[in-house]
Amino acid sequence: MRKWTVAGVVLLIVVLAGCRQSPQATSTPDLEITLDTTTPFKMGQTELVVTLKDAQGTPIDNAKIEVQGDMTHAGMKPSLGSVDKGTQGQYKIPFDWSMGGDWVLTIKATLPDGRTASKRIEVTIPTS
């Protein structure tokens, strides 16, 4: 009986963890981080466009935005990019998709008052 309960809890955690992998999940609900995906991503040097707004939809320009891209396979150095000024809530971040394949992009926003928000986005870059 007890063993079954433990197994049930473990299963529940696994299920919940699975749900958290949703493509665009934000850690702080009062800040909205959006990655522009209207132009398909390609391998190589690019510029990511990230929009930052508060809960009321007001653009935030004075945050620092840091982006880290990790590939889902082992043995890769992460790709990094950052910028500390936006225009009308839009931040343009130089970034290198150094290889085709599956990436997990972590976007972190830090406000002048120290508040932070982050978002994980899964991105697949075509291999050619």
Q: What span, in angstroms and rounded, lies between the C-alpha atoms of 21 and 108? A: 17
**Is residue 76 a contact residue for Cu ion (CB under 5 A)?**
yes
Residue partners of 95: CB distance under 8 A and separation at least 6: 45, 46, 47, 48, 67, 69, 79, 81
- Give the binding-site size for Cu ion (rule: CB under 5 A): 3
Q: Which stretch binds Cu ion (CB under 5 A): 29-37, 77-85, 98-106, 118-126?
A: 98-106
Q: Based on CB atoms, which residue is closest to Cu ion, 69 or 86?
A: 69
Q: Based on CB atoms, which residue is closest to Cu ion, 84 or 96?
A: 96
**Is residue 99 a contact residue for Cu ion (CB under 5 A)?**
yes
